[in-house]
A and B are shown apart, each in its own frame.
Chain A
Amino acid sequence: MHAFDYQAPTTVAEAIQLLAKHNGTARPLAGGTDLIDQMRVGRFAPEVVIDVKKLKELNVLSVDADGLHVGAAVPCYRIYSDETVNSQYTALADSCHIIGGIQIQSRASIGGNLCNSGPAADSTPSMIALGGVCVITGPDGTREVPVESFCTGPGKNVLKPGELLVEVRFPTRPANSGSHYRRMIPRNEMDIAVVGVGASVVLDASGQKFASARIALGAVAPTPLFAQAASALLAGQPVNDETLDKAATAAREIASPITDMRGTREYRIHVTGVLVKRVLQAAVARARGEDIGYCRGH
Protein backbone atom coordinates (compact mmCIF):
# COMPACT_ATOMS: atom_id res chain seq x y z
CA MET A 1 0.00 0.00 0.00
CA HIS A 2 1.16 3.54 -0.70
CA ALA A 3 2.15 5.76 2.21
CA PHE A 4 -0.51 8.07 3.62
CA ASP A 5 -1.32 10.07 6.71
CA TYR A 6 -4.09 9.06 9.09
CA GLN A 7 -6.26 11.50 10.97
CA ALA A 8 -9.10 10.74 13.34
CA PRO A 9 -10.92 14.00 14.05
CA THR A 10 -13.48 14.13 16.81
CA THR A 11 -15.74 16.87 15.45
CA VAL A 12 -17.47 17.26 12.10
CA ALA A 13 -16.05 20.76 11.79
CA GLU A 14 -12.54 19.43 12.19
CA ALA A 15 -13.20 16.68 9.66
CA ILE A 16 -14.50 19.14 7.11
CA GLN A 17 -11.58 21.42 7.66
CA LEU A 18 -9.23 18.51 7.01
CA LEU A 19 -11.12 17.42 3.91
CA ALA A 20 -11.14 20.97 2.57
CA LYS A 21 -7.49 21.51 3.34
CA HIS A 22 -6.48 18.46 1.32
CA ASN A 23 -8.78 19.42 -1.51
CA GLY A 24 -9.53 16.07 -3.10
CA THR A 25 -6.45 14.19 -1.90
CA ALA A 26 -8.11 13.07 1.33
CA ARG A 27 -10.66 10.29 1.71
CA PRO A 28 -12.96 9.61 4.62
CA LEU A 29 -12.65 6.17 6.19
CA ALA A 30 -15.69 4.63 7.82
CA GLY A 31 -15.74 0.81 7.87
CA GLY A 32 -12.89 0.67 5.39
CA THR A 33 -14.17 -2.49 3.76
CA ASP A 34 -14.06 -0.85 0.34
CA LEU A 35 -11.45 1.85 0.84
CA ILE A 36 -8.68 -0.28 2.33
CA ASP A 37 -8.93 -2.82 -0.49
CA GLN A 38 -9.07 -0.05 -3.09
CA MET A 39 -5.89 1.45 -1.66
CA ARG A 40 -4.23 -1.96 -1.58
CA VAL A 41 -4.85 -2.54 -5.29
CA GLY A 42 -3.91 1.05 -6.12
CA ARG A 43 -7.30 2.26 -7.30
CA PHE A 44 -7.13 5.17 -4.87
CA ALA A 45 -4.04 6.70 -3.38
CA PRO A 46 -5.21 9.43 -1.00
CA GLU A 47 -2.55 11.43 0.83
CA VAL A 48 -4.69 11.53 3.94
CA VAL A 49 -7.18 9.07 5.28
CA ILE A 50 -9.68 10.67 7.61
CA ASP A 51 -11.26 8.24 10.03
CA VAL A 52 -14.82 9.48 10.59
CA LYS A 53 -15.82 6.84 13.14
CA LYS A 54 -15.08 9.10 16.07
CA LEU A 55 -17.62 11.69 14.93
CA LYS A 56 -20.74 11.35 17.07
CA GLU A 57 -23.05 12.69 14.34
CA LEU A 58 -21.95 9.89 12.08
CA ASN A 59 -22.73 7.29 14.72
CA VAL A 60 -26.29 8.36 15.33
CA LEU A 61 -28.99 5.71 15.03
CA SER A 62 -32.22 7.20 16.30
CA VAL A 63 -35.85 7.94 15.58
CA ASP A 64 -37.58 11.27 16.05
CA ALA A 65 -40.42 13.25 14.50
CA ASP A 66 -38.43 13.57 11.25
CA GLY A 67 -38.09 9.82 10.97
CA LEU A 68 -35.07 7.54 11.20
CA HIS A 69 -31.56 8.98 11.33
CA VAL A 70 -28.73 6.66 10.35
CA GLY A 71 -25.27 8.14 10.79
CA ALA A 72 -23.04 7.61 7.80
CA ALA A 73 -20.54 5.53 9.78
CA VAL A 74 -23.00 3.27 11.60
CA PRO A 75 -21.97 -0.30 10.80
CA CYS A 76 -24.42 -2.74 9.25
CA TYR A 77 -24.74 -4.94 12.32
CA ARG A 78 -25.99 -2.04 14.42
CA ILE A 79 -28.56 -1.23 11.77
CA TYR A 80 -30.05 -4.70 11.52
CA SER A 81 -29.89 -5.14 15.28
CA ASP A 82 -32.05 -2.05 15.74
CA GLU A 83 -35.66 -2.79 16.61
CA THR A 84 -37.14 0.16 14.68
CA VAL A 85 -35.20 -0.67 11.54
CA ASN A 86 -36.20 -4.32 11.80
CA SER A 87 -39.87 -3.59 12.26
CA GLN A 88 -40.35 -0.56 10.03
CA TYR A 89 -37.44 -0.10 7.65
CA THR A 90 -37.09 -3.77 6.82
CA ALA A 91 -35.59 -3.27 3.36
CA LEU A 92 -32.65 -1.57 5.04
CA ALA A 93 -32.27 -4.46 7.47
CA ASP A 94 -32.44 -6.90 4.53
CA SER A 95 -29.62 -5.06 2.78
CA CYS A 96 -27.42 -4.73 5.81
CA HIS A 97 -27.77 -8.45 6.50
CA ILE A 98 -26.25 -9.43 3.17
CA ILE A 99 -23.48 -6.91 2.58
CA GLY A 100 -20.39 -9.12 2.67
CA GLY A 101 -20.23 -11.66 5.46
CA ILE A 102 -20.80 -11.11 9.17
CA GLN A 103 -17.24 -9.81 9.57
CA ILE A 104 -17.78 -7.17 6.91
CA GLN A 105 -21.07 -6.18 8.55
CA SER A 106 -19.18 -5.45 11.76
CA ARG A 107 -17.50 -2.56 9.98
CA ALA A 108 -19.20 -1.65 6.70
CA SER A 109 -21.59 1.31 6.84
CA ILE A 110 -24.39 2.44 4.57
CA GLY A 111 -22.65 5.81 4.33
CA GLY A 112 -19.58 4.09 2.98
CA ASN A 113 -21.68 1.94 0.68
CA LEU A 114 -23.33 5.07 -0.71
CA CYS A 115 -20.16 7.16 -1.01
CA ASN A 116 -18.34 4.33 -2.73
CA SER A 117 -21.12 4.81 -5.28
CA GLY A 118 -20.94 1.36 -6.84
CA PRO A 119 -23.80 0.56 -9.20
CA ALA A 120 -24.36 -2.74 -7.35
CA ALA A 121 -24.30 -1.37 -3.78
CA ASP A 122 -26.75 -3.46 -1.78
CA SER A 123 -28.01 -0.76 0.55
CA THR A 124 -28.60 1.99 -1.99
CA PRO A 125 -31.80 0.58 -3.60
CA SER A 126 -33.24 0.13 -0.11
CA MET A 127 -32.37 3.69 0.84
CA ILE A 128 -33.97 4.97 -2.37
CA ALA A 129 -37.07 2.85 -1.82
CA LEU A 130 -37.42 4.12 1.73
CA GLY A 131 -37.13 7.71 0.56
CA GLY A 132 -33.77 8.34 2.17
CA VAL A 133 -32.27 11.81 2.11
CA CYS A 134 -28.53 12.40 2.38
CA VAL A 135 -27.48 15.07 4.87
CA ILE A 136 -24.22 16.53 3.63
CA THR A 137 -22.09 19.02 5.51
CA GLY A 138 -19.29 21.00 3.93
CA PRO A 139 -17.40 24.26 4.12
CA ASP A 140 -20.49 26.05 2.76
CA GLY A 141 -22.88 24.55 5.27
CA THR A 142 -25.32 21.68 5.17
CA ARG A 143 -27.39 20.52 2.22
CA GLU A 144 -29.76 17.65 1.58
CA VAL A 145 -29.85 15.39 -1.47
CA PRO A 146 -32.28 12.55 -2.08
CA VAL A 147 -30.42 9.23 -2.20
CA GLU A 148 -31.50 8.59 -5.79
CA SER A 149 -29.70 11.78 -6.85
CA PHE A 150 -26.52 11.10 -4.88
CA CYS A 151 -24.63 8.81 -7.27
CA THR A 152 -23.62 10.28 -10.62
CA GLY A 153 -21.66 7.41 -12.14
CA PRO A 154 -19.68 4.33 -11.15
CA GLY A 155 -17.61 5.49 -8.17
CA LYS A 156 -18.85 9.06 -8.60
CA ASN A 157 -21.26 11.18 -6.55
CA VAL A 158 -22.37 14.71 -5.80
CA LEU A 159 -19.95 15.29 -2.93
CA LYS A 160 -17.70 18.27 -3.55
CA PRO A 161 -14.20 18.51 -2.10
CA GLY A 162 -14.54 19.23 1.59
CA GLU A 163 -18.03 17.78 1.86
CA LEU A 164 -18.91 14.91 4.14
CA LEU A 165 -21.96 12.66 4.22
CA VAL A 166 -23.16 12.93 7.80
CA GLU A 167 -26.32 10.84 7.85
CA VAL A 168 -29.14 9.43 5.82
CA ARG A 169 -32.57 10.37 7.07
CA PHE A 170 -35.65 8.29 6.30
CA PRO A 171 -39.18 9.61 6.61
CA THR A 172 -41.52 8.14 9.16
CA ARG A 173 -43.18 4.99 7.82
CA PRO A 174 -46.85 5.35 7.02
CA ALA A 175 -49.45 2.83 8.13
CA ASN A 176 -49.96 -0.23 5.91
CA SER A 177 -46.45 0.00 4.51
CA GLY A 178 -43.84 -2.66 3.91
CA SER A 179 -40.48 -2.88 2.24
CA HIS A 180 -37.99 -5.45 1.06
CA TYR A 181 -34.65 -5.81 -0.68
CA ARG A 182 -33.30 -8.84 -2.43
CA ARG A 183 -30.71 -9.51 -5.01
CA MET A 184 -29.73 -12.19 -7.45
CA ILE A 185 -26.30 -13.62 -6.75
CA PRO A 186 -24.86 -16.87 -8.10
CA ARG A 187 -23.93 -18.09 -4.64
CA ASN A 188 -26.11 -17.66 -1.59
CA GLU A 189 -23.76 -15.26 0.20
CA MET A 190 -20.57 -13.25 -0.29
CA ASP A 191 -21.35 -12.02 -3.80
CA ILE A 192 -21.92 -8.72 -5.52
CA ALA A 193 -25.49 -8.27 -6.73
CA VAL A 194 -26.02 -9.27 -10.35
CA VAL A 195 -29.29 -7.39 -9.96
CA GLY A 196 -30.61 -5.90 -6.74
CA VAL A 197 -34.11 -4.60 -6.17
CA GLY A 198 -35.49 -2.61 -3.25
CA ALA A 199 -39.10 -1.63 -2.90
CA SER A 200 -41.35 0.06 -0.43
CA VAL A 201 -45.11 -0.07 -0.77
CA VAL A 202 -47.98 1.64 0.99
CA LEU A 203 -51.34 -0.10 0.72
CA ASP A 204 -54.78 1.33 1.24
CA ALA A 205 -56.69 0.44 4.38
CA SER A 206 -58.14 -2.67 2.77
CA GLY A 207 -54.68 -3.97 1.97
CA GLN A 208 -55.85 -4.79 -1.55
CA LYS A 209 -54.70 -1.70 -3.42
CA PHE A 210 -51.42 0.14 -3.73
CA ALA A 211 -51.57 3.67 -2.34
CA SER A 212 -48.03 4.37 -3.44
CA ALA A 213 -44.75 2.61 -4.05
CA ARG A 214 -41.05 3.25 -4.55
CA ILE A 215 -38.98 0.77 -6.50
CA ALA A 216 -35.21 1.02 -6.90
CA LEU A 217 -32.82 -1.05 -8.98
CA GLY A 218 -29.16 -1.91 -8.50
CA ALA A 219 -26.52 -3.22 -10.92
CA VAL A 220 -28.51 -2.49 -14.07
CA ALA A 221 -27.11 0.96 -14.89
CA PRO A 222 -24.07 3.12 -14.12
CA THR A 223 -25.82 4.18 -10.91
CA PRO A 224 -28.52 2.66 -8.74
CA LEU A 225 -31.85 3.75 -10.22
CA PHE A 226 -35.11 4.98 -8.85
CA ALA A 227 -37.68 3.26 -11.09
CA GLN A 228 -39.99 6.22 -11.19
CA ALA A 229 -42.45 5.12 -13.86
CA ALA A 230 -42.73 1.62 -12.47
CA SER A 231 -43.35 3.06 -9.02
CA ALA A 232 -45.86 5.65 -10.16
CA LEU A 233 -48.01 3.23 -12.13
CA LEU A 234 -48.73 1.18 -9.02
CA ALA A 235 -50.61 3.99 -7.24
CA GLY A 236 -54.27 3.16 -7.04
CA GLN A 237 -53.88 -0.22 -8.70
CA PRO A 238 -55.12 -3.47 -7.20
CA VAL A 239 -52.53 -5.86 -5.81
CA ASN A 240 -52.53 -8.64 -8.37
CA ASP A 241 -50.26 -10.37 -10.87
CA GLU A 242 -51.27 -8.10 -13.69
CA THR A 243 -50.29 -4.98 -11.76
CA LEU A 244 -47.01 -6.49 -10.65
CA ASP A 245 -46.21 -7.57 -14.20
CA LYS A 246 -46.79 -4.01 -15.38
CA ALA A 247 -44.38 -2.68 -12.79
CA ALA A 248 -41.85 -5.35 -13.71
CA THR A 249 -42.09 -4.44 -17.38
CA ALA A 250 -41.72 -0.74 -16.65
CA ALA A 251 -38.68 -1.44 -14.47
CA ARG A 252 -37.08 -3.56 -17.17
CA GLU A 253 -37.44 -0.70 -19.58
CA ILE A 254 -35.11 1.56 -17.65
CA ALA A 255 -32.48 -1.11 -17.13
CA SER A 256 -29.39 -0.61 -19.29
CA PRO A 257 -26.96 -3.13 -17.85
CA ILE A 258 -23.60 -4.30 -19.13
CA THR A 259 -22.29 -7.81 -19.70
CA ASP A 260 -19.48 -8.68 -17.34
CA MET A 261 -18.18 -11.55 -15.21
CA ARG A 262 -21.27 -11.31 -13.04
CA GLY A 263 -23.90 -11.66 -15.72
CA THR A 264 -24.95 -10.82 -19.23
CA ARG A 265 -27.00 -7.82 -20.25
CA GLU A 266 -29.91 -10.04 -21.31
CA TYR A 267 -29.79 -11.96 -18.07
CA ARG A 268 -29.80 -8.82 -15.96
CA ILE A 269 -32.78 -7.36 -17.79
CA HIS A 270 -34.72 -10.60 -17.38
CA VAL A 271 -33.84 -10.86 -13.71
CA THR A 272 -34.85 -7.24 -13.11
CA GLY A 273 -38.41 -8.14 -14.02
CA VAL A 274 -38.36 -11.30 -11.92
CA LEU A 275 -37.00 -9.59 -8.84
CA VAL A 276 -39.23 -6.53 -9.08
CA LYS A 277 -42.22 -8.82 -8.91
CA ARG A 278 -40.84 -10.94 -6.09
CA VAL A 279 -39.75 -7.93 -4.06
CA LEU A 280 -43.11 -6.20 -4.49
CA GLN A 281 -44.91 -9.36 -3.40
CA ALA A 282 -42.76 -9.54 -0.28
CA ALA A 283 -43.19 -5.84 0.47
CA VAL A 284 -46.96 -6.23 0.13
CA ALA A 285 -46.93 -9.21 2.45
CA ARG A 286 -45.01 -7.21 5.02
CA ALA A 287 -47.40 -4.28 4.63
CA ARG A 288 -50.18 -6.70 5.48
CA GLY A 289 -48.27 -7.87 8.52
CA GLU A 290 -47.55 -11.31 7.06
CA ASP A 291 -44.36 -13.26 7.53
CA ILE A 292 -42.74 -13.51 4.11
CA GLY A 293 -40.63 -16.49 5.07
CA TYR A 294 -37.70 -14.80 3.43
CA CYS A 295 -34.68 -17.00 3.29
CA ARG A 296 -31.51 -14.94 3.66
CA GLY A 297 -29.43 -15.15 0.58
CA HIS A 298 -31.49 -17.41 -1.62
Chain B
Amino acid sequence: MPRVFIPPPMRSLTEGEEVVEVGGTNLRQVIENLEQRFPGIKERLCQEEEIRPGLAVDIGGSVATLGMLQRTAPDAEIHFLPAIGGG
Protein backbone atom coordinates (compact mmCIF):
# COMPACT_ATOMS: atom_id res chain seq x y z
CA MET B 1 0.00 0.00 0.00
CA PRO B 2 1.19 3.60 -0.67
CA ARG B 3 2.75 5.24 2.38
CA VAL B 4 1.50 8.74 3.05
CA PHE B 5 3.82 11.08 4.98
CA ILE B 6 1.69 13.33 7.13
CA PRO B 7 2.83 16.99 7.41
CA PRO B 8 3.24 18.09 11.06
CA PRO B 9 0.14 20.38 11.14
CA MET B 10 -2.08 17.41 10.15
CA ARG B 11 -0.76 15.00 12.71
CA SER B 12 -3.37 16.12 15.22
CA LEU B 13 -5.83 14.44 12.86
CA THR B 14 -3.80 11.23 12.60
CA GLU B 15 -3.30 10.85 16.34
CA GLY B 16 0.35 11.73 15.88
CA GLU B 17 0.99 9.17 13.16
CA GLU B 18 3.74 10.48 10.86
CA VAL B 19 3.41 7.84 8.15
CA VAL B 20 0.14 6.19 7.27
CA GLU B 21 -0.29 3.22 4.93
CA VAL B 22 -3.44 3.58 2.95
CA GLY B 23 -4.84 1.84 -0.14
CA GLY B 24 -5.60 3.38 -3.51
CA THR B 25 -4.35 3.23 -7.06
CA ASN B 26 -4.65 6.94 -7.68
CA LEU B 27 -4.37 10.01 -5.51
CA ARG B 28 -8.11 10.52 -5.30
CA GLN B 29 -8.60 7.06 -3.81
CA VAL B 30 -5.71 7.55 -1.42
CA ILE B 31 -7.13 10.83 -0.13
CA GLU B 32 -10.66 9.42 0.10
CA ASN B 33 -9.36 6.48 2.09
CA LEU B 34 -7.36 8.81 4.33
CA GLU B 35 -10.51 10.85 4.92
CA GLN B 36 -12.37 7.66 5.90
CA ARG B 37 -9.79 6.90 8.54
CA PHE B 38 -9.05 10.44 9.65
CA PRO B 39 -12.06 12.68 9.04
CA GLY B 40 -11.17 16.28 8.19
CA ILE B 41 -7.97 15.49 6.40
CA LYS B 42 -9.36 15.98 2.90
CA GLU B 43 -10.42 19.54 3.55
CA ARG B 44 -6.83 20.33 4.49
CA LEU B 45 -5.52 19.00 1.19
CA CYS B 46 -8.26 19.70 -1.30
CA GLN B 47 -10.36 22.53 -2.60
CA GLU B 48 -13.37 21.71 -4.77
CA GLU B 49 -12.19 18.13 -5.36
CA GLU B 50 -8.75 19.24 -6.54
CA ILE B 51 -5.44 19.55 -4.72
CA ARG B 52 -5.27 22.95 -3.06
CA PRO B 53 -3.41 25.61 -5.05
CA GLY B 54 0.07 26.11 -3.68
CA LEU B 55 0.38 22.46 -2.66
CA ALA B 56 2.53 19.93 -4.47
CA VAL B 57 2.22 16.19 -4.12
CA ASP B 58 5.37 14.16 -4.53
CA ILE B 59 4.61 10.56 -5.43
CA GLY B 60 7.53 8.19 -5.61
CA GLY B 61 10.02 11.00 -6.12
CA SER B 62 8.09 12.82 -8.83
CA VAL B 63 5.78 15.77 -8.46
CA ALA B 64 2.28 14.72 -9.49
CA THR B 65 1.24 16.60 -12.62
CA LEU B 66 -2.14 14.93 -13.01
CA GLY B 67 -3.49 16.00 -9.65
CA MET B 68 -6.10 13.66 -8.20
CA LEU B 69 -5.81 11.39 -11.24
CA GLN B 70 -2.13 10.64 -10.67
CA ARG B 71 -1.45 6.92 -10.36
CA THR B 72 -0.04 5.75 -7.05
CA ALA B 73 2.13 2.66 -7.25
CA PRO B 74 1.57 0.10 -4.46
CA ASP B 75 4.93 0.87 -2.87
CA ALA B 76 4.90 4.62 -3.52
CA GLU B 77 5.73 7.21 -0.91
CA ILE B 78 3.42 10.21 -0.96
CA HIS B 79 4.57 13.59 0.35
CA PHE B 80 2.60 16.83 0.58
CA LEU B 81 4.96 19.78 0.02
CA PRO B 82 4.88 23.48 -0.77
CA ALA B 83 4.68 24.01 -4.53
CA ILE B 84 7.92 25.18 -6.09
CA GLY B 85 8.37 27.79 -8.74
CA GLY B 86 11.65 28.32 -10.50
CA GLY B 87 13.46 31.32 -11.86
Direct contact of A and B (CB under 8 A): no
A-to-B contact residues, CB < 8 Å: none
B-to-A contact residues, CB < 8 Å: none
